[in-house]
């Protein structure tokens, strides 16, 4: 007997942080979460699984387009043709969505009720599935505690959307502890909500399959569901199924040894080659390049940040625009010597460096800078207020950090040019 356990599909939620540039593989990836889900369904049909479990968060809660639901039904239709039933549990996002209530699911899709735990018995497989959907988003009661006792002689699967203990990165919905799950007497816990893949072996096998498709730079690496194969003795074997169509990578390149922009570009190129070599050619990579290190090229990088981005894009283009999408090129370098060399010159530039340092604590300057920057901040749309980290500091007038960040680059830049 084998089944697929997926969760946190977030159908039609967009990839964020990717700005389009000429030749970026935009068209290919605008429907990434759908394409990943289609891959999953195809995989289920090809693997001839006995059933599929979706442990919550099928859609994004705020997503309003009913087409997404219709698309989901169509994919379920494909599984129906292949004779594969689906056991669907609604999580916090689904509870929020109007679609959940109104969508007319095909008859091979069985949804867990919200009022009380539901048990589905698959007599021919000797499988029992227990689960309870979220009635509302803010479900903070312990749902697992109300699940029924395991059915004797059956392979008992608990389906649960939960933050589990300690998963602080995600909202603390339907909390419960790992011990509690082990103690329940089920053989397998099909969990959802936490986007990173996790597995605990014990009395039960407890699994977060992770989300189906990484959607931003905080969801790096391969993504997908799990394929669970249960042998005759009832021991589940869990194998990851990667169905994602774009993979995120955060690439830190230490350029401490680089003296110029061109050397930095070469260093980045080498690292990019490494990613390309070690990732499947069929899946494009969205890469954030962060340049770090105390480097003599700091001044160059400050003045030529746009050129650096252009050159990295050119590298990506050379590797193949269908292979790589540069999400961002971040310069997080610092001056090689913290300004010591400039200070030692005892000339006009070292005087200037001192003055620049003073600017950080000059309230008059900071005030006038805030005024200048507020022009942009006040005009920017709401989405940008959270997307640009500087905006919060600008609004609160806490600009010392920004000045501190910009200053060394400026000094290095001045020292570098003639």
Partner 1 sequence: MRFHRLDLIKYGKFSDRSVEFPAAKQDFHLVVGPNEAGKSTLRSAIVDLLFGIPTRSVLSFLHPLNELRLGAHISNPSGALEFHRAKAQKQTLRSPSDAVLPESALIPFLGTADRNFFDQMFGLDHTGLVAGGNNILNAENDVGQILFQSAAGVASLGKIRDALVAEADKLWAPRKSTDRAYYIAADQLERATAALKEATVRTKVWVEANNRGEALQESLSGERDRHRQLQSRRSSLERIRRLAPSLIAIRDSEMKLAELGEVIDLPIDAATILSVSERELAIASQRLELRDSEVEITTAALGKIHLDEVILGMATDISALDKLRLQYSAYNRDIERRKNEIAAHWQDVCHACTQLGWMPESESAVALRIPKLLVQRELRQLVRDHGGVIQALRSAEKAESNKLSEIDQLSKQLAGVQSGEIKPALRAALANAKSFGDSGTTLQKQQRVLTKAKSALEGLLRELRQWQKPLADLPAMQPPSQEKISRLLQDRLGLVFDRKAELIRLENQKAEVGRIELDISQFKERHHPTTYEAVLQTRQERDASWLAIKTGETTLQQAAQKFEAAMIHADGVADRRLDDVEEATELQSLLHQLERERQILLTIKSRYSDLENEIQMFDDLWAEQAASLNLVDMPLEEIGAWIIKREKALAAAAVYQDAQDDSDSTCRGVSEARAGLINALRETGLPASEADSLSVLSVQAESFIQGIDGANVRRETLSAQLLAAQTLATTLKQSTDDAKAEESRWTEAWSNALAKAGLSADSDPGSAEGALELIGKIAEKLEKMRQIQVERIDTMNADLKEFSVDANRLAEIIAPELTTGSAGEIAVELANRLAQARESHAERERLRETLRSANVKVLEARESIQTATANLKPLMEKAGVDTRALLAEAIGRSDEHRRLNTGLAEAKTFLLNGGDGLTRLQIEAEIDAADLTQLVSGLAKINDELSDTVQRQTDLSADLANASRILSDIGGSDAAAQAEAQRQEAIARMSDVAERYVKVITAERLLRWSIDRYREEKQGPLLERAGSIFSTLTSGSFRKLVVDFEREPMVLEGLRSDGKPVGISGLSDGTRDQLYLALRLAALEMHLEQAMPLPFIADDLFINYDDVRSKAGFEALRALSEQTQVIFLSHHDHLVPTVQDVFGKQVNIVFL
By CB under 8 A, the residues from 135 to 174 that bind partner 1 are: none
- CA distance readout (Å), 316 to 219, 287, 322, 332, 352: 21, 10, 9, 20, 38
Closer to partner 1 by Cβ: residue 123 or 383: 383
DSSP string across 333-359: EEETTTTHHHHHH-SHHHHHHHHHHHH
- Tell me if 2 sits within 8 A of 49, measured CB to CB: yes
Q: Least distance to partner 1 from the beta carbon of 401, Å?
A: 11
Q: Least distance to partner 1 from the beta carbon of 74, Å?
A: 5
Among 199, 283, 318, 387, binds partner 1 (CB under 8 A): 387
The span of 167-175, 198-206, 227-235, 380-388 binding partner 1 (CB under 8 A) equals 380-388
User: Which residues 2-41 are close enough to bind partner 1 by CB under 8 A?
Assistant: 12-20, 26, 29-31, 33-34
Number of shown-chain residues binding partner 1 (CB under 8 A): 83
User: Which residues 89-108 are close enough to bind partner 1 by CB under 8 A?
Assistant: 98-99, 101-103
Closer to partner 1 by Cβ: residue 70 or 183: 70
User: Which residues 331-360 are close enough to bind partner 1 by CB under 8 A?
Assistant: 340-341, 344-349, 351-352, 355-356, 358-359
- Gap between the Cα atoms of 374 and 101, Å rounded: 44
- Tell me if 141 sits within 8 A of 116, measured CB to CB: no
The span of 187-195, 219-227, 229-237, 397-405 binding partner 1 (CB under 8 A) equals 397-405
- Gap between the Cα atoms of 77 and 65, Å rounded: 20
- Tell me if 239 sits within 8 A of 226, measured CB to CB: yes
Q: Is 91 helix (H, G, I), strand (E, B) or coil?
A: coil
> Phi and psi for 116 in degrees, rounded to 5?
-150, 165
104: exposed, middle or buried (C-beta count within 10 Å: 0-12, 13-18, 19+)? exposed
User: Which residues 358-377 are close enough to bind partner 1 by CB under 8 A?
Assistant: 358-359, 362, 365, 368-369, 372-373, 375-376
The span of 113-121, 190-198, 233-241, 406-414 binding partner 1 (CB under 8 A) equals 406-414
Instruction: Tell me if 66 contacts partner 1 by CB under 8 A.
Output: yes
User: Which residues 211-270 are close enough to bind partner 1 by CB under 8 A?
Assistant: none
Instruction: Tell me if 74 contacts partner 1 by CB under 8 A.
Output: yes
User: Which residues 297-326 are close enough to bind partner 1 by CB under 8 A?
Assistant: 302-303, 305-306
Of the candidates 51, 99, 87, 101, the residue with the CA atom closest to the CA atom of residue 160: 87
Q: Least distance to partner 1 from the beta carbon of 267, Å?
A: 20
Q: Least distance to partner 1 from the beta carbon of 101, Å?
A: 8
Q: Least distance to partner 1 from the beta carbon of 99, Å?
A: 5
Closer to partner 1 by Cβ: residue 50 or 327: 327
Q: Least distance to partner 1 from the beta carbon of 176, Å?
A: 31
List helix spans (H) across 253-399.
261-278, 298-303, 305-319, 340-345, 348-359, 363-379, 382-387, 389-396
- Gap between the Cα atoms of 360 and 404, Å rounded: 6
Closer to partner 1 by Cβ: residue 39 or 162: 39
């Amino acid at each position: 007997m084998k089944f697929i356990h997926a969760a946190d599909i977030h159908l039609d939620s967009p990839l964020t942080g990717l700005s389009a540039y000429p030749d970026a593989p935009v068209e290919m990836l605008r429907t990434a979460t759908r394409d990943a889900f289609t891959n999953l369904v195809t995989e289920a049909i090809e693997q001839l699984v006995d059933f599929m479990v979706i442990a919550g968060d099928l859609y994004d809660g705020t997503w309003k387009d009913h087409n997404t639901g219709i698309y989901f039904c169509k994919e379920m239709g494909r599984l129906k043709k292949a004779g594969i039933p689906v056991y669907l549990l609604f999580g916090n996002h689904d509870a929020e969505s109007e679609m959940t209530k109104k969508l007319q699911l095909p008859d091979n899709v069985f949804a867990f009720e919200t009022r009380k735990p539901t048990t589905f018995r698959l007599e021919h497989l000797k499988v029992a599935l227990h689960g309870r959907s979220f009635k509302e988003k803010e479900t903070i009661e312990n749902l697992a505690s109300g699940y029924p006792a395991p059915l004797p002689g059956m392979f008992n699967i608990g389906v649960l959307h939960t933050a589990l203990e300690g998963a602080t990165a995600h909202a603390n919905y339907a909390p419960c502890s790992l011990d509690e799950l082990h103690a329940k007497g089920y053989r397998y816990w099909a969990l959802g909500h936490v986007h990173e893949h996790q597995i605990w072996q014990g009395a039960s096998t407890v699994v977060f399959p992770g989300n189906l498709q990484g959607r931003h730079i905080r969801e790096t690496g391969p993504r997908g569901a799990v394929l669970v194969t249960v042998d005759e003795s009832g021991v589940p074997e869990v194998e990851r199924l990667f169905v994602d169509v774009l993979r995120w990578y955060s690439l830190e390149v230490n350029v401490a040894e680089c003296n110029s922009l061109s050397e930095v570009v070469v260093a980045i190129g080498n690292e990019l080659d490494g990613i390309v070599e070690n990732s499947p050619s069929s899946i494009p990579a969205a890469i954030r390049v962060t340049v770090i290190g105390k480097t003599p090229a700091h001044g160059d990088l400050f003045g030529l940040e746009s050129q650096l981005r252009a050159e990295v894009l050119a590298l990506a283009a050379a590797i193949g625009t269908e292979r790589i999408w540069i999400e961002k090129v971040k310069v997080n370098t610092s001056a090689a010597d913290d300004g010591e060399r400039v200070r030692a010159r005892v000339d006009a530039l070292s005087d200037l460096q001192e003055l620049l340092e003073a600017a950080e604590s000059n309230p008059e300057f900071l005030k006038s800078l805030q005024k200048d920057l507020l022009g942009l901040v006040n005009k920017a749309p709401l989405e940008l207020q959270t997307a640009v980290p500087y905006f919060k500091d600008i609004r609160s007038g806490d600009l010392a950090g920004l000045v501190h960040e910009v200053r060394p680059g400026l000094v290095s830049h001045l020292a570098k040019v003639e």
